[in-house]
Amino acid sequence: MAKVSTRELFDAALKGGYAVGAFNVNNMEIIQGIVEAAAEEKAPLILQISKGARSYARHNYLMHLIEAALEQYDLPIAVHLDHGDSFELCKACIDGGFTSVMIDGSHLPFAENVKLIRQVVDYAHPRGVPVEAELGRLAGIEEHVSVSDRDAIYTNPREAKEFVEQSGADSLAVAIGTSHGAYKFKSTPQLDFARLAEIEKALPGYPLVLHGASSVPREFVELCNKYGGQLPGAQGVPEEMITRASKTNVCKINIDTDLRLAMTAAIRKVFSEVPAEFDPRKYLSPARDAIREMVRHKLHVLGCAGKA
């Protein structure tokens, strides 16, 4: 099947009340594990490539691996740039076959963020590529954070409407308490669902995106630690919250950390149990299996299993 754009995946997700998983890819085993899971579960898929992944594996290698997956499976797959940080990077990805890009100007003042997105949108739209933007700062909600502090950090619903209108972005990554990595909350995990509802009210029928959505499952942290890792106190977003978000207008949910944990636990297990092993296939193959099983599970958490 040919690559699809995120626009068509989002239209179906909004109508169907589920979210599409956007999984970060860096090499062949990760791509294969994710795509095998989506094929088994008949799920639409977003494979996303960060700037770091693109320099690590190189643009053409990743694109050819994804093309190989598309030849093998009849699955709707979008190829998305995750956290693009410049017009030039977005342009290179659009020219090089990506079907969706994110331009992340969330660290910039409002007007500069809008200006940068406009520049990318003006290049992307005539080429049929939708653009994701971000407003607000990703940071975990802690109990001591007051409502006024939250207003300064998280996405403001009124600003979100203005931001989308002025920038022409096709989807918006919102800050409601999620954050990147394995250490999302110091105390009880919580997300600002009231704010999410306000954003939906301000932008009816508009696709929202949730970054930093890994759940950091305790069993995988424990496996990593059991086999020599050091991840004390790692904590993610509980899966019930991810499922709750996926039933709203959040139609893209980004997951990277949980794949890293699954892969690392599997590799550490082989190294620890069979120290004499040095054939990479003997540890990369269980790592690929671990990614496949993690993704299969996530596709049910997001409600997109069976929706391809």
Q: Following CA atoms 55, 56, 57, 60 in sequence, which dihedral angle do they give, to the nearest 10 degrees?
A: 10
Within 8 A by CB and 6+ apart from 92, the residues are 59
Is 52 among the residues that bind ligand G3H (CB under 6 A)? yes
Beta carbons within 10 angstroms of residue 7's beta carbon: 16
What single string gives the DSSP state of each residue in 60-76? HHHHHHHHHHHHH----
What are the angstrom distances between the C-alpha of 215 and each of 57, 93, 173, 257, 259?
26, 29, 18, 8, 10
Candidates 7, 59, 118, 180; binder of ligand 13P (CB under 6 A) is 180
Enter the tokens of residue 47. Answer: 């494979």
**Active-site amino acid positions:** 82
CB closer to ligand 13P, 76 vs 212? 212
Is 212 among the residues that bind ligand 13P (CB under 6 A)? yes
Is 254 among the residues that bind ligand 13P (CB under 6 A)? yes
Is 195 among the residues that bind Zn ion (CB under 5 A)? no
Is 182 among the residues that bind ligand G3H (CB under 6 A)? no
Is 297 among the residues that bind Zn ion (CB under 5 A)? no
Q: What distance in Å separates the CA atoms of residue 278 and residue 301, rounded to the nearest whole number?
A: 36
First to last CA, the chain: 12
In this structure, are residues 154 and 136 in contact, taking their beta carbons and an 8 Å threshold? Answer: yes
CB closer to ligand G3H, 167 vs 214? 214
Q: Taking the complex as a whole, how short is the minimal distance between the CB of residue 193 and ligand 13P, in angstroms?
A: 18
Is 211 among the residues that bind Zn ion (CB under 5 A)? yes
Q: Taking the complex as a whole, how short is the minimal distance between the CB of residue 172 and ligand G3H, in angstroms?
A: 16
Residue with tokens 């007007």: 111
Cα–Cα nearest to 168, from 202, 122, 207: 122
CB closer to ligand G3H, 52 vs 128? 52
CB closer to ligand 13P, 140 vs 303? 140
Is 161 among the residues that bind ligand 13P (CB under 6 A)? no
Candidates 5, 24, 32, 156; binder of ligand 13P (CB under 6 A) is 24
Candidates 82, 132, 170, 192; binder of ligand 13P (CB under 6 A) is 82
Binding residues vs ligand G3H (CB under 6 A): 24, 50, 52-53, 82-83, 180, 256
